Amino acid sequence: MEKENKGLEIMNIVTSKDKKILSKALNGIKGWNFNPIAVVTNGIEDYYFICKVKTIVENLQMKMARIYIKIQENNKPRLLSIEEIV
């Protein structure tokens, strides 16, 4: 089954579905609080979340992050990377 390639779309409003995808992908990461402010997606499998970040440990402070999530064939989100935005 071939997937149709769509262009990337920036969404300033983060839906509850998007938040659930982010939550499932970040399951198990403790001490970090990611608050999504924007989502970039191709509507099929790639999600880039722009998040404000708060940490429990002050010297590990990251203020903004880009989180890359890919949806697998069984509709399970997989965390691929977390990058700090300076």
DSSP 34-69: EEEEEEEE-SSSEEEEEEEEEESSGGG---EEEEEE
Q: What predicted TM-score, i.e. pTM, was given to this entire model?
A: 0.81
Give 14's DSSP letter.
P
Bridge partners (DSSP) listed for residue 65? 51, 84
Domain ranges of the chain: 9-84
**pLDDT attached to residue 19:** 92
Bridge partners (DSSP) listed for residue 82? 67
> How sure is the predictor about 1, in pLDDT bands with cuts at 50, 70 and 90?
very low
**pLDDT attached to residue 22:** 94
Q: What is the pLDDT of residues 15-66, one digit of tens each?
A: 999 999 999 999 988 888 899 999 998 877 899 999 998 887 776 677 899 9
